[in-house]
Structure 1
Amino acid sequence: MTTSTTRVLALLEILQSGGLRTVPDLAARLGVDERTVRRYVGRLTELGVPVDSVRGRYGGYRLAPGYRMPPLMLTDEEALAVVLGLLAGRRAGLVTASAAAGESATAKLLRVLPAALRRRLDALLGTADFTARPRAATAPETGVLLELAEAALHRWPVGLGYTDRKGRTSDRTVLPYGLVAHAGRWYLTGADPRDGEVRTFRLDRVTALRVRSDSGPGSDSDSDAGPGAFEVPAGFDPAATVLDSLARTPWAHDVSLRIRGGAQDVRGRLPAGIAIVTALDEDADWVRVRIRAERLEWLPPVLAALDRPFVVERPAALRELVRELARRLDGYATVDPIEDPAEDPAEDSP
């Protein structure tokens, strides 16, 4: 949904709350100029929404008396998909709005559904639980995500204010190729127009955003057409690019392993986005795995779960952690079970 469409719906929501709304008030609440408010009112009128225009010093806009939005006609499956989508997005940490906004959106959806369907969805929300814990992630601002989506779709360059993982700030121009949701965070992948190098940015670290297009968000034009200012390379895969970028991030430890198995199989058994797996030319039965990590303690259990021969090439500290885990597991396996006297066979003998 484009930013202009979102604002038209926001205008309808404001007018539905009742009363007469002045043009300056609507412009301030929507974050647009007064001429854009009048254009949005025209769109509502084209859609059949009866908006009355009141002229004069205290004039403005209001919905015609007695007008009510009709019930939202969704099938049971459609309504279930929407409600579960809201829940899943919030639990995954990918919904940019606050928890209160998510709950408000769910309440509004239920309020306009037919009564029978509403009761069934209320029952689901009241009884359903999840085994996966909610992700605690810092979501980007809604406006940042939506404006970057438009810029990527229409191939408009953007100016970013950005703070990197070390706290360093910078201003840069990016050619946005695509947006990716991964592990509770949103990422932008795009190219630096100066050298063409592809980079990845976390959206929650974007401190300022300006779309470099006269027809982009914030302008008077709402045209969705245009030639675009750049081309995305053929076959470019934003998701694969983000995962590869995360795997190459310079963390505290540079881990190198050799693991027996095929590259695809080993890669599928490791957490996405942390490992670079390559086949070994000298031995087709083994692969090399490179992992960059801040901490090493989590790696030995992952390697044990692979249940495959492996060699720790570096760092030496990881080898000792693997040995410690092996000693603990051996100790757990050799402890004699506590015998229950009630089950002692000797008690059954004459």
Structure 2
Amino acid sequence: MTSDTTARMLRLLSLLQTRREWPGLDLAERLGVTVRTVRRDIDRLRELGYPVDSARGHGGGYRLASGTDLPPLLLDDEEAVAVAVALRTAAGGLTGIEETALRASAKLEQVLPRRLRGRVTALQGAVAGITWEDRGPRADPALLASLAVACRDHEIIGFDYTTRDGATASRRVEPCHLLASGSLWYLLAHDTARDDWRVYRLDRISHPTPTGRRVPPRQVPGDDPAAFVAQRLSAAPTRHRAVATVQASADHVRAHTRGLGTRIRPAGDGTTCLVDASDDSLTRIAQTLAALPVDYTLDADPDVVRHLRATADRALRAAS
């Protein structure tokens, strides 16, 4: 096999790894060869153990299928560095993935070119994460992976979902995006029964069941999945209500706090703003309010007020 053929096959393999399916004509155009040459190169990849599926006909194409073994992956320099650093800093909100990530990181670092190893070592030495004992709900990495595939393939999926009040019901959705917020993972999907968009917490999803039915991709309202999910989460009903009127502009509060996003809304002439600190957790409400940079007045449920007074009393006793 000549060096040109080898280089072309590596390029072909790299293309197959970037998209689910490639028409033969598109591959030939990308590689600057004929469709017949693409077929020959595909046969060579199969001889080397790469499971490449093909479909005949006008709409036919090629895709790298799953096999019994994981074939080598081709990563460019930037991809290799990104993966190595990501593995070292994995994986907030996922159960039991830290040890697996470290094993994968060790394997990758063994084969990194010397020119990249120094960059990765420097990044890993400078980047660190803080691990808290109480991490809150954790998602299953296998569930995350299966939902990611369903999002990619636009495949309808069914699962059982446990609501905030502990009730469990079946759901059937068109998955769209996975988003992480702090230690929590969310699935943005279009519910087929309700004909509406819904946001599901991964730690409340169980028994995912692929249906094999694929649908055209849906356009997320506003074209920004993260903003849409943030808006839905801020508007979702909570167990405890607490809204602060803060004596500062929304921009000032936003610049001096983290994670409040759409919970901050301008009020009046713009010199004050409203911060919705409502939550299912009284402790989180107290933490949100404690982070506000200036004075505020509070409109809250009685149980919130009692909790804040008890917290303040403990702090005063400790200080005295």
State if a TM-score over 0.5 links the two structures. yes
| CA–CA separation in structure 2 for the residues paired with 1:293 and 1:275 | 14
Out of 214, 222, 227, which is 1:240 matched to? Answer: 227
1:93 aligns with 2:93: yes
Alignment of 1:82 with 2:83, yes or no, is: yes
Counterpart in the other structure of 2:270: 284
228, 233, 251: which one pairs with 2:238?
251
Identity %: 27
SS of the aligned residue for 1:292 comes to coil
Counterpart of 1:207, as a letter, is S
Which residue number in structure 2 is paired with residue 138 of structure 1? Answer: 138
1: CA distance between counterparts of 2:68 and 2:280?
57
Is 1:152 equivalent to 2:151 in the alignment?
yes
**Is the CA contact (8 Å cut-off) linking 2:162 and 2:204 kept in structure 1?**
yes
SS at match of 2:233: helix
Deviation at 1:240, TM superposition (A): 2.1
**Kindly tell me: are residues 304 and 163 of structure 1, through their superposed partners in 2, closer, same or farther at Cα, counting changes over 3 Å?**
closer
Return the alpha-carbon distance in structure 1 between the equivalents of residues 116 and 200 of structure 2.
42
Distance 1:240 1:73 in 2: 31
User: Counterpart of 2:294?
Assistant: 308
Instruction: Note if contact 2:156-2:175 (Cα within 8 Å) is conserved in structure 1.
Output: yes
Aligned-pair CA distance for 1:301? 5.8
RMSD of aligned C-alpha atoms?
4.4
Distance 1:193 1:317, change over 3 A: closer
Note closer, same or farther for the CA distance 1:301–1:183 as it changes in structure 2 (3 Å cut): closer
Query: Could you tell me how far 1:286 is from its partner in structure 2?
Result: 2.1
Q: Is the 8 A contact 1:159 1:212 kept in 2?
A: yes
Kept in 2, the 8 Å contact 1:275–1:291? The answer is: no
Q: 1:86 to 1:317 in 2, by over 3 A?
A: same
1:291 aligned partner, one-letter code: A
Distance 1:128 1:292 in 2: 36
Q: For residues 163-222 of structure 1, what are the alpha-carbon distances to aligned partners after superposition, in whole Å with 9 as ceiling and x for unaligned?
A: 2233322112112231111112321112222333321112232212233335x6xxxxxx
Q: Partner letter of residue 239 of structure 1?
A: A
Alignment CA distance shift 1:176-1:72 (3 Å): closer
Question: Which moved further from structure 2: 317-326 or 229-238?
Answer: 317-326
How has the CA–CA distance of structure 1 residues 119 and 268 changed in structure 2, closer, same or farther, with 3 Å as cutoff? closer
The correspondence of residues 120-199 of structure 1 with structure 2, limited to 5 A, is 130=128, 132-133=130-131, 136=135, 138-142=138-142, 144-199=143-198
Please tell me the residue identity of whatever aligns with 1:84: V
Tell me the residue number matched to 1:30.
Answer: none
Is residue 157–residue 229 contact of structure 1 (8 Å, CA) maintained in 2?
no
Find the aligned partners of 1:277 and 1:115 in 2 and give their Cα distance: 48
Separation (CA, whole Å) in 1 of partners of 2:309 and 2:148: 44
Deviates further, 302-311 or 113-122:
113-122
Aligned partner of residue 162 in structure 1, secondary structure: strand
Contact 2:90 2:98 in 1 (8 A): no
The letter of the residue matching 1:170 is A
Structure-2 change in CA distance of 1:190 and 1:297 (3 Å): closer
Shift of 1:105: 0.8
Preserved CA contact (<8 Å) 1:93 1:138: yes
* Mapped partners of 1:123, 1:230: distance in 2: 40
**2:59 corresponding residue in structure 1:** none
TM-score (normalizing by structure 1): 0.58
- Aligned residues of 1:156 and 1:229 also touching (Cα < 8 A): no
Mapped to 2, the partners of 1:119 and 1:277 lie a distance apart of: 43
Find the counterpart in structure 2 of residue 104 from structure 1: 103
314-323 vs 153-162, greater mean Cα deviation: 314-323
Q: Which moved more, 1:179-188 or 1:237-246?
A: 237-246
How many residues are paired up?
Answer: 264
Deviation at 1:85, TM superposition (A): 0.8
C-alpha distance in 2 between matches for 1:159 and 1:62: 26
Cα distance between partner residues in 2 of 1:172 and 1:123: 46
1 CA distance for matches of 2:72 and 2:318?
Answer: 68
Residue pair 2:160, 2:171 contacting (<8 A) in 1 also: yes
Long gaps (5+) in structure 2: 1-15, 19-40, 51-66
Alpha-carbon distance in 1 for matches of 2:162, 2:68: 43
Aligned equivalents of 1:71, 1:147: Cα separation in 2: 20
CA distance, structure 1, for counterparts of residue 88 and residue 278 of structure 2? 33
TM-score by length of 2: 0.63
Specify whether residues 110 and 233 from structure 1 end up closer, same or farther in structure 2 by C-alpha distance, changes over 3 A only. closer
Separation in 2, partners of 1:146, 1:315: 40
Secondary structure in 2 matching 1:89: coil
Maintained 8 Å contact 1:189/1:241:
no
Q: Residues 156 and 173 of structure 2 are in contact (CA less than 8 Å); yes or no, is this contact kept in structure 1?
A: yes
Distance 1:269 1:122, change over 3 A: closer
Aligned residue for 2:222, secondary structure, equals coil
Deviations 1:258-284 (A, max 9, x none): 11223344345444268633333x543
